[in-house]
Amino acid sequence: MLLEGGCHCGNLRYRAEVEEPRLVLCNCSICTKKGALHLRLDPSKVEFLKGKAHLTEYRFGTKKARHFFCPVCGIAVYGHSRLAPHLVTLNARSLDRFNELSPLWPVTHFDGQNWEVAAAALQTKGLQ
C-alpha cells in the first residue's frame, strides 16, 4: 500500500510503500515526550518528496539514534534508531491516513526505559 505523510505545516512530505505494517511503541524518554509510534521501513520504500534538507536533527545520550523534526512546526517525522540504524523509522502519526489505518495494524511495545535489556532480548529472539 502506498501512503503519504508529512509534518503539520507541510514543509516535509514523503511517500512510503508499506507492505506489512507493524508499529512499535517505545516508552523511552524521547519517544514518550514526542508521542512517536514507529513504523520501520527499508530506505528503498521511502521517498522524500520535499523538505528533507530543511529538517533539524537531534541526537542525545549515545548519539547513535538520529531524530529529525520540522524546524517550523516541530513535528517529529522520522529517524534512525539505535536498534536498526539501517532502516528509516517513520513516525506513523505523521501519515495522512493514520487515524483510518492504525487501528488495523499490530503494535509491539518496546521497553525503552530499560533499553539495553530490551534490545538484548530482541536480538536474542532475532527480532532486531
Every domain of the chain and the residues it spans: 2-125
The verdict on domain 2-125 having CATH code 2.170.150.70 is: yes
Q: What is the pTM of this model?
A: 0.90
Indicate if the pLDDT at residue 94 is higher than 70. Answer: yes
Helix (H) or strand (E) holding 77: strand 76-80
Indicate if the pLDDT at residue 128 is higher than 70. Answer: no
Average pLDDT over all residues of the chain: 93
The pLDDT value recorded for residue 125 is 58
The pLDDT value recorded for residue 120 is 86
